[in-house]
Amino acid sequence: MGFSEFTSGLLENAVNEFASLPGIGRKTAFRMVMNLLKRDPADIKRFGDTISKLHNEIRYCKSCHSISDTEICSICSDSKRDQSVICVVENIQDVMTIENTGQFNGTYHVLGGIISPVDGIGPADLKIDSLEERVRSNSVAEIILALSTTMEGDTTNFYLYKKLSRYNVLITTLARGVAIGDELEYTDEITLGRAIKNRNPYQV
């Protein structure tokens, strides 16, 4: 049976939904659906309820904009973390990537993207104003610019530097080791951990 010829409309709809996810082809989606069909009905209900709750009840930290179950996430509210250091990242995946290195003990700020005129994304579309507010309102000693080493990432770094350099705060970037053009999500943990520990002052 080709994947364009399903004997069940319900099956086809389910495969199409899974295939709409990034990185999931139709063959993989088909295997996922068939696996679910073999499971106990209680497992299927729990799976569906979890996805529904994720969409309806997920919250974002009011401080750093990362995903959270509470108003302030567990990282921002952790008294053992260095609240004076903020690591600026593009997305939530980058928070998880850096956390997995075990080399960072500060807090984060999720921009929600990077400046990309080609994609119609400008500074106003990102969480930049709230970052500046954190720097202005709190005892922030250092801002680490941990964005992808792409042209868009560099553009965003420069914009943030110009925006924040008026304040009495050290602005640093990851040490060389993260290759040019790389995204943090795909950088191995050892390399990224070293890049964080050996970070350098930002240079225009």
Rounded to 5 degrees, what angle do the CA atoms 130, 133, 134 make?
90
Domain ranges of the chain: 9-57, 80-201
H or E stretch including 67? strand 67-68
Class of domain 9-57: mainly alpha
Say what the pLDDT of residue 175 is.
74
Fold of 80-201: Dna Topoisomerase Vi A Subunit; Chain: A, domain 2 (3.40.1360)
Say what the pLDDT of residue 3 is.
54
Q: Cα separations (Å) of 160 from 4, 128, 165?
A: 48, 8, 8
Walk along the chain (204 residues) in steps of 10 and give the mean pLDDT of each run: 67 92 91 92 91 86 94 95 96 93 94 93 96 91 92 94 94 70 60 78 79
Say what the pLDDT of residue 1 is.
44
pLDDT tens per residue across span 104-125: 999 999 999 999 999 999 999 9
